[in-house]
Structure 1
Amino acid sequence: MDSLIEYLDGKRQLVNTQLENYVTANTDEGRVRDAMLYSIEAGGKRLRPILLLATIEAFRGNPSKGLPVACALEMIHTYSLIHDDLPAMDNDDVRRGQPTNHKKFDEATAILAGDALLTLSFQIITDSNDLTNDEKVFIVRELSKASGPKGMVNGQMKDMQYENHDIPLRELEDIHRQKTGRLLNFAVLSGAYLAEADDQVMDNLTAMAGALGLIFQIQDDILDVVGDSHAIGKPIGSDEGNNKSTYPQLLGLEGAIAQKDGYVEVAQNALHESGINGTTLSELIDYLSSRDR
C-alpha cells in the first residue's frame, strides 16, 4: 500500500502542476482566472486523471501522451463540482476543506469559472502536439459524450429530480452510471485507446469501468454516513440533508458494503480477462473501495 500511496502522490503532483500551467498559460489575469485556479489549487484526489495514466501504463504505453487528456478530464470534473455546489443545485458551503467557489467569490463568477474550465478542456486536447488528429477527434467525441446530456449532465439532472423521492436500486444505479461513472469510464477507455488496446480488451474494460463507477459512488455514500468530515473535506450527512437516495438508505450500511464488494469482484475479473491484473490499475480498484476520503 505504501508504494501505491507514493504512486498516487507522484501522479497527483504531476497533474496539479500541469493543470495550473494550462490555466495560467491560456487565460488572462483577472477574476475568472483567480476563480479557476482557486478550485484547481484546492487539490482533490485526482482519481480520474490517475486512472487514465495508470491504464496507459498497464498496457505499457507512454503516459506523457495521456497527460493533456488527463488534465482536460480533471478540468471537466472540477467545473462540475463548482456548478454542483451552487445554491440552485446542492447549495454546499464547503468543498475540499475550504469555502466553495461561489462562497469565496460569488455565484456569477463561479458559473463563469466552471464554464471556462469546461471549454478550456477541449482546447487543451486539440492544441496537444502529442496526439494525432484521429486521436484528438476520438478523445473530444468520447469526452463530450461522457460529460454531456447522455452522461454526467443527465445524471446530475436526474439526481436533483429524484430528491425527496424514494427510488429503486436499479434507478439509483442508472443515475450514478451517468453522474459519476461516465467520466471514470472515459478515463479507463481513453487510456486503453491511447495505449492501442484491441477491441476485445476494450470490451472487457467497459465492464470494469462500469463497475468502478459504482464502487466509487457506493463508497462515497458510505463515507457520507460514517466518514470523517475533516478527511473528506466537506460535512458528512449532506446527502440525507438534501433528501437524496443513497445505497445505505436503500440497502442498509452492511448491504451497501456487500453491493460494493460484488462490484469489486466484477472489476477485478474484467481486469483478469484483459490480461492486466496485478498492475497498479488492480491496486486502484481496491483502493477506491476502501478509501476514507
Structure 2
Amino acid sequence: MQDNYLAKWLNDELTEAELAEFKKSEAYETYRKIKESAAQLESPEFDMDKAWESIEQTKTVDDPKVFILSPFKKFLRVAAVVAVLLTASFFYLNTLKESYTTEYAENKSITLPDTSEVILNAESELTFNEKKWDSNRNVDLKGEAYFKVAKGKKFTVETAEGLVTVLGTQFNVETREDYFEVTCFEGLVSVTINGKETKLPAGNSLLAINGKSTMSKAIVDSKPSWLSNESSFTSIPLHYVLDELQRQFNVEITAKDIDTAQLFTGSFSNENLDLALKSISVPLQIKFNLDGNKVLFYAEEAP
C-alpha cells in the first residue's frame, strides 16, 4: 500500500485501481470500521460565551515565549565562535614577542633573526617580534645593551626615555629611570627624545638625565667598557654609579651622610668587588663597609 492511500481514502480521492489495492491491505478493515463509527458520532452542544469566560479566568498575564532555533542558526553560532577563536589565535601568535632578560651580575648575548648581535648588560630586558622581523626590525629595551646591527632596513630601539634608529651600525644604549645614554661606535644613529631628533655620528655620545640632554665626545674603543668588565663614567651623579655597582655585583648598597647627587668621573672593575669599592670611595674621600652582600658608603667624619 502506498503511504498516502489512507489520507486520499479519507478524502475520497482514490482512483478505482488504488481503492481496490487499498481494500486488499490488512489495515483496510480496521480503518473502515473507525470511519463508520466516527460518522455516527454527534458533536456536543457548545456554549461560546462560557468558553470565553473560562479562557479569561485561566489566562496568565504573560504568554509563554517559544524560541525556535533552527539547525542552520545553531550552525552559524558555532561557526562564529570558531571564527573568533581562529582570529584571536592568529592575532596572539602574530603579536607574541621573544623576550630576553638578565639578572644582577649577568650578561647575555643574543642573535637576532637578521644575524644582528645584541649583548645585554646586567638587569636588562630585550623584546622583539620574530614573526614580523622581516618587515619590522624593531626591539624594545629596558636597561643597557650593545648593538651590532646587520645592514638592511631601518632598525629601531624603543625605550621609555627615547628612540634610536639606524640602518646598520654599532652603538650602545642605556635606559634607566630618568637616565638615557646612546653612544655611537660606528656609522650614524638617529636619537629622538621628546620629539626632538639628533644625528649622532661615530665617536659621540648623547646623554639625557631628567630630561636634560648633552652631547659629548666618547672614548671609542670599538665597544663599550662594560664589555671588557669595567664600568666607566664621566660626570655622572653618584647615585647612578652606585646603582650600576649594585647591578654588577648583586649587592645591596646604602649611603649615609653622602651627597649622592655629586658628579663622579672614573671607573670600577666588574669582576673584583673590593677593588670596585675602593675605586669609588678613594676619589670621593668616603669610606665603605662590606658585610656579606651589604655595602655601606659613609663620610669619613661619620662615626
Shorter-chain TM-score bucket reads: under 0.3
Q: Considering Cα pairs closer than 8 Å and 6+ residues apart, tell me whether 1 or 2 has the greater RCO.
A: 1
Is the helix fraction higher in 1 or 2? 1
Larger Cα Rg: Structure 1 or Structure 2? 2
TM-score scaled to structure 2, two decimals? 0.24
